[in-house]
Structure formats: structure tokens, C-alpha cells
Amino acid sequence: MKAHYKKHILEFKTPSGTSRGILKTKEAWFIVLENNGEFGVGECGMLRGLSIDDRPDFEQTLQWVCANIHLGEQHLYDALTEFPSIQMGLEIAFKSLAAPDPFQIYPSAFTKGEASIAINGLIWMGDKAFMSKQITTKLNEGFGCIKMKIGAINFDTELSLLKSIRQEFSASEIEIRVDANGAFDPKNALEKLKQLSDLDLHSIEQPIAVKKWDQMSYLCEKSPLDIALDEELIGVFSNQSKQALLQHIKPQYIILKPSFIGGFKGSDSWIELSQANNIQWWITSALESNVGLNAISQYTFTKNSTLPQGLGTGSLYTNNIASALQITKGTLCYNPTKKWNFNL
């Protein structure tokens, strides 16, 4: 078996704003396996500035993995605890190599084109006019759930925008999630959550910065708006540490980004622990290319979640990998008649 890696720079159609800054490009790293004329490909979805494995030796570690691919998937996975995106890239690549179709790693009604996955429409930060335009577009496209990034512009402006949506669309017509990416100050976060809760929102992701367990626990207990942990899960490796986090903070939801938490094995452990603690979850992508998004989507479908998932990011780029994924009426579908084109 041979292995090599490739790097591809994805370019955003529109610069996309979060509370951490403006995104214009995104690196995609691929592990490609070859064995007896067959090939498999997996994506390591490391995200600069956020992933725990955004570190100087990331590419060196990829080189080591490819040079030692003979050690096998499990041995390599176990050695890469501190590189969760590479763990996921390996998982996908080995599943891809073993599959009759390298892009159908979890065959199901989804990959047959017989079923779809409900997803949220993503609304990026910007001025009021820009955000309003995005919302109108998503509603016209048939989304029943939208997720708004907040925390980068004036809170009163964001609140006004949310109020204007609610005046036009009730909670039964459109479900709204908001994501603060840790932007709120713990001192006034509860007051902001109370104001947001008046708008019949579904939940808020990561209202305050990570590693403030006591403050986050207090908010989860007192907030009238349900809280979902997201970035908080990054860098929490052992089951003991995961259990400690969930039992201390007691969130209503956790959000699983497989690229950040050790791929599908890591996601499985979080799901098992969250269910044992009566905590709900959903899965989102981390701005991967269609290779990673496809694998995450197929895995997600097997979990039978009834919540809208965060898997609508494939259309963000001008130069994504041509794939069988498509969005129809607020759902993600797999069209098995469409051809993949992985020629980088």
C-alpha cells in the first residue's frame, strides 16, 4: 500500500464573517491511498485558528503518516490523538479504499438517492442589509431552519435583525439557531440570552469563550435559551475528560464536528456519553471540501438524528471538488448519477 497527501486551497465565493474574523480561503488536506490498482481518499479538515492540530508540525505529521501507512489504520489512529483531523482523514481514506465506490463509504438510502438529510441554512455575519439578503435567499430556497452567526457587529443591530425575522416568520415557520462563537462577555451574557430568548430561538452555540466551565455551567442552568457547546469540545481527548465536561457544564446540546474531535470514532464516544447524560446533539461540518463533507454526511445519516444538521457548506467555494452532493429544499441529497471529479 502507498500513501501520499495533497493540499488544495478552497476559495470562498463571498468572504465569510465570523466573530474570529473574515474567511477568504480554506486549506484542504487529502490523504490518498493506493493498493492493487484501487484508491481511497480522505480529508483532514484542519481549520486554522481553531483546530487543536493547527500547529507547526501538522504537515510533518502528515508526511510521517504517509511514510508509515504500513502500520495500519488502528495503530496510526491511536498515535494521532493530538491530531484529530488527521485521524478523521485516515478513517475516511481507509473506508474509501475498502469500498466498491470510493465516495460511498456508508452505503444507505442516502447514498442511493432515496433519502435526504434536513440541514440548516447558514447566515454569515455582515451588515444588516447583507444578512437580510442571505436570510431571504435561504427562505426562498426552502430551508425550515437557519443558523445565524452573531457577535461580530453591534448586538442591538443583531437583535433588531432577529426581531424583524420573527415579525415576518413565526417559530413554526422558521427555526432559528444563533452561534456566538464565544463572543459574549460572561458578565453580561445572561442578560443577552434573556433578550434573545424572547424571539423564540431554538438555541445558541457557544455564547462565551471556552474553558470557563463554571460560568458556562451557570448559563446553562439559568438561561431561558437552550445552549449548545461547540468549540468547548475541542482538545478534550479522553472519555474521562469528556464525561467531566458534560457533567460539570450540563449543556442542553453538544455540536459534533468530526474533524475537530477525532473523526467518527471520536464522534461516537461523544454521542454515547451525551445520550447517557440526557444531552441532545447534532453534527456539523467544519468547512471541509466536498470530500470531507460527503463522508460526514454519510456517517450522519446512519445516526438517525431528527434534528437539522449543519451540513450545508459545500456551496461556499468557487473551486470545490465536483461531487454527487446537492441541496434541495433545505435538505442535503446524494445524487448517485452525478460524477465525482477528484483531479487536483
Per-residue model confidence as pLDDT tens digits over 72-93: 999 999 999 999 999 999 999 9
Per-residue model confidence as pLDDT tens digits over 142-197: 999 999 888 877 899 889 889 988 888 889 888 999 999 899 999 999 999 999 99
Cβ within 8 Å of residue 150, ≥6 positions away:
19, 125, 158, 178, 179, 180, 183
Q: Do 32 and 3 touch, CB atoms closer than 8 A?
A: yes
**Please, what sign has the CA dihedral across residues 306, 312, 314, 315?**
positive
Q: In CATH, what is the architecture of 2-98?
A: 2-Layer Sandwich (3.30)
The letter for the amino acid at 65 is V
> What integer pLDDT is reported at residue 1 of this predicted model?
96
> What integer pLDDT is reported at residue 124 of this predicted model?
77
Cβ within 8 Å of residue 58, ≥6 positions away:
46, 83, 86
Quote the cell numbers at residue 204.
Answer: 445558541
Quote the cell numbers at residue 135.
Answer: 436570510
For the chain, which residues make up each domain, given as ranges? 2-98, 117-334
Q: Residue 78: in which H helix or E strand, if any?
A: helix 73-79
CA distances from 296 to 79, 174, 309, 314 (A): 22, 25, 11, 12
> What integer pLDDT is reported at residue 106 of this predicted model?
98
Q: Annotated active-site positions, please?
A: 149, 257
Distance in angstroms (rounded) separating the CA atoms of residues 205 and 143: 19
Mean pLDDT computed over every residue of the chain: 94
The letter for the amino acid at 102 is P
What is the topology classification, in CATH, of domain 117-334? TIM Barrel (3.20.20)
Distance in angstroms (rounded) separating the CA atoms of residues 301 and 305: 7
Q: What is the pTM of this model?
A: 0.95
Note the Cα 180 to chain centre separation in Å: 15
Note the Cα 115 to chain centre separation in Å: 21
Q: What is the mean pLDDT of each run of 10 residues along the chain (344 residues)?
A: 97 77 91 96 96 98 98 98 98 98 98 98 80 86 91 85 87 92 94 97 97 98 98 97 98 98 98 98 97 98 97 93 96 97 82
Cβ within 8 Å of residue 214, ≥6 positions away:
none
Q: Residue 97: in which H helix or E strand, if any?
A: helix 84-98
CB neighbour class for 240 (10 Å; exposed up to 12, middle 13-18, buried from 19)? exposed
- Half-sphere CA count of 198, side-chain side, radius 13 A: 11
Distance in angstroms (rounded) separating the CA atoms of residues 175 and 301: 21
Distance in angstroms (rounded) separating the CA atoms of residues 3 and 135: 43
> What integer pLDDT is reported at residue 222 of this predicted model?
98
| Residue in the structure block whose three cell numbers are 467531566 | 244
